[in-house]
Structure 1
C-alpha cells in the first residue's frame, strides 16, 4: 500500500504554513502553551491555553489577560512590539474523538461510552461540533462533525468490542480527514472569518495499548482503507494550514506512552495518563475544558524576513498574577505580502 507520507508529496500546497508547536512554559504550578499555531503570508495566529502541571485546564478570567507580541529585527536583533488581536474565548470548535475499541477493551465498553458522553456534555455548546472514530483491527468513522446531540449519541451507542488489533494511527489520520471535510462544509471559504473567529480543530484520542495494525502488520481479512499510517505521518496533520493538536489519554500500564507523548507534544496537544477506565471520564471532561478554554489571538508580521517572534502573556489566577513568555520560530520564505526589513533599510 502507498504510505500517507508518499501521498502528501503530491498534495496541493497550503496557503498557511506552520511554526513549530509550542511546548508549555512552566514555573510554579502554572504552564502556558500555544496551540493551533499558523503562519500566513503576513500574520501569525494561535490559541493561548493555561494549564497546571498535570495538564488540567485552568480557567482564567479573559478580562485579566494581556497579550503582547514582539518580532525580532533580523538586522539588529532588537525586538519590536506589534499589536495583537485577542479573543477571550474560542468561539467555535471542531473536535473528533478517536476511541480504542480493540479486544483489550473487553468489559470496559460501558465506561468508554459514559466517558465519551461526558465529553459531549462539556463540549457541545454554541457553534461547536464533534465527530467520532472507532479503532479496532481497522478504523471506522462513526460520525462526521455534527452539532446534533442525537447524531453524537447514536455514534457513541454504535461502539462495540469484538476482539481485534489496534489500528490507532489510522484512526487519528481519519479523524483529521473528518476535520478537513468539516472545514470545507461550514462555509469557511465563503465567510471572512477573522483570525480569532475561525473554527479551531483538535483530535482527542484514548487507548490502553499501542498501535499494531495501521500499516497492515497483522494477517487479517480486513483490508483497511489502503493507506499505511505511521507515527511520523501524524506529526504534521493540519486543516486549512493550521496544525491539528492531538490530545492523548493513556489508560493503564500497557500504553505506548513514548509515542503518544511525542505525538501530543509535537502537535501542540497534551498527554494525560490515567490508571483505569473509571478515570477516563474525568480525563475527557478535562480535555473538553481545555479545548473550550483556549483563547485565539493573531498579529501581523511587519517585515518578510522575521524569523523569530515571542508572545508575553500576563494573567491572574486564584488571586495571583503570572507572566509567561513563549518564543516561536517562523519558517523562512513564508511571508509574501510585505517588504523585508533589509529592503526598507537600504532605501533610507
Structure 2
C-alpha cells in the first residue's frame, strides 16, 4: 500500500522593523571618503531601518528576532507550545546590547522566551541564505515525519557593517561599498503540514558554489574594531554568477520533464541586494530560460538589503499589501489573489543559490 507523501506549507509570516530610519543621503554624509558618489542612484536604496543602540530598546539581533517570532505567532493558528522545532538563522548574533553571542543557541533561548518549551532548538549559519536554509531543513523534517510544526526566525543588525564602511570607505569602488545598502530587520516563518496543493511548498533546492566564497566576506575590520563586509561587487554580480541560478533551476526542472514556463509562477522574489541587481538578475534569467519573468515584488528601496530576512520580509510585505488592497510593496497588485504561486531565489555569499517554489493560500500575515 502506497503512503501519501508528506509536504509542508508556509502557515504564517511575521516581521519586526525598527522605528529608526536612516536615509541614504544621511548615511553618505557620514562617509567623507565617498566624495560625490550617488549611493542612492547606484544601489536603488532610498532609506533603511536602523536599530536603537540603547540596550533597553531590545533591538539587538536577539530582541528583534523575538519580536518577529511573536508577531508570527500572533497571526498563526498555532501556539508557541505547538512548535516542535525552532531554527535561528541570524548572521549578526548580537545579544545584551553589543556582544556577539554564540552559546547557548539563539534558537534555544528564543524557544524558552516564546514558551515553546518542548521544541528542539538549533542555529544555522549560511550567510544571507540562512533563513532559506532553515526553511529547507524544516521542510525536510516535516516531510520525513520527524516534526509536524516549526519556526525559522532571524534578527539582523546589518547596519553595524554600514557604520564601519562609512568610517573607512575610500571611494565607490571600495570593497565595503555594498555595506552602504544594508538595513536592520527581523523575520519569522512557521511551516506545518500541507493537505492541499493550493497551499504548499512544492520544492526547495539549494546549491553552494564554494569557489566564489572569497567574493563576499564578513569579518572584523582590518583597520578598526568594527565589523566589516568586504565584497567584490563586479565579480560577485557579473553575468556568469547570475547564470548560476537559472541553469541550476533549469537542470532541476528538466529531470522531471518540466521547464520554467511550465511552472507558471505569479511572482518571483529575488534577494534584495539592490534595485539594479534585481532587474539584472531577472533579465539574465529571461535570457537563460527563454521565458518572461513574472512580476518581482521588492522592498529594497525602503528597507535595503536585510540579509537573511530579505525574502520572507518581502513576501510578508507583499501579502499584507495585497490583503489590504494597498499595493504598497513594489510589484504587488492590489488584492493579491489567494493561491498565487511564488518563486523565492536566494543569492548569498558562499555562493549560494537555488529556488523555493510555493503556492500560498491561507498564510497568516
- How does the TM-score come out when normalised to structure 1? 0.26
Larger RCO (CA under 8 A, 6+ residues apart):
1
Which of 1 and 2 has greater Rg?
1
Report the TM-score, using the length of structure 2 for normalisation. 0.25
Q: Larger strand proportion, structure 1 or 2?
A: 1
More helix by share: 2
